[in-house]
A and B are shown apart, each in its own frame.
Chain A
Amino acid sequence: DTAVSQTPKYLVTQMGNDKSIKCEQNLGHDTMYWYKQDSKKFLKIMFSYNNKELIINETVPNRFSPKSPDKAHLNLHINSLELGDSAVYFCASSPTGGAGQPQHFGDGTRLSIL
């Protein structure tokens, strides 16, 4: 059983479109995250939710909107996609949002903007 699963694995779309990426974790964790890994391979945190409540919101364009319907799911919706949004997006979870807790990552969604 996959602990943190993301769909789709690959997403190819055109500039200006709106798309969503879904994430689910079956670990019973309270906290979930979205990270972006760009072409230079740097991983940067975007958002974090603890039990459906937003707790970390980094400097991310407001075209990106996370939604957590329950603590096992954290989806990422992106409006008006731009070329610079091309990257791999990783979802992660941890037992709680406390500092230092190991995070469990999904295998990523590779987003390519044409």
Chain B
Amino acid sequence: LAKTTQPISMDSYEGQEVNITCSHNNIATNDYITWYQQFPSQGPRFIIQGYKTKVTNEVASLFIPADRKSSTLSLPRVSLSDTAVYYCLVGDTGGGYNKLIFGAGTRLAVHP
């Protein structure tokens, strides 16, 4: 199983860009990289997913270098409501089944 490593916590201020980097040295050829966000007392919410290069949606951007051994989630101009735990997951094919393996995540605190 490909394991991910990400910072335990990060602090930022409103209006800043936040970049959270995740290491996944043992990523397999068929694995996707997926990020989820979790607010207190809520379930995780899918943010973005990518395989290589760059992916952008209305919420975030995901940068993946050519060797795919790491990835960076970029949140533009964060607000207080972006305070949450962010999880980086590398797809576990699990025999082809959709089994998410969550790590400890990165606890992002956005300050006024």
Contact = CB atoms under 8 A, between A and B. Distances in A.
A106 interface: yes
Interface of B: 30-32, 34, 41-46, 49, 85, 87, 91-94, 96-105
B43 A56 contact: no
A41 B98 contact: no
Contacts of B87: 43
Contact of B41 (A41, A56, A107): A107
Interface stretch (A13-21, A63-71, A72-80, A93-101): A93-101
A11 interface: no
Given A99-B92, A100-B32, A44 B102 contact: yes
A95 B97 CA distance: 12
Chain A, interface size category, equals 20 to 34
A108 B42 contact: yes
B43 A106 contact: yes
A94 B98 CA distance: 9
A48 interface: yes
Contacts of A33: 98
Interface of A: 4, 31, 33, 35, 41-45, 48, 55-56, 90, 92, 94, 96-108
Contact of B43 (A41, A45, A108): A108
B46 to A, nearest CB: 4
Contact of B34 (A31, A55, A56, A102): A102
A31 B44 contact: no
B30 to A, nearest CB: 8
Contacts of A105: 42-45
A108 B101 CA distance: 18
Contacts of B34: 100, 102
Nearest to B91: A100
B105 A41 contact: yes
A97 B99 CA distance: 9
13 contacts: A43-B87, A43-B102, A55-B97, A56-B99, A99-B92, A99-B93, A99-B96, A103-B46, A104-B46, A105-B43, A105-B44, A108-B41, A108-B42
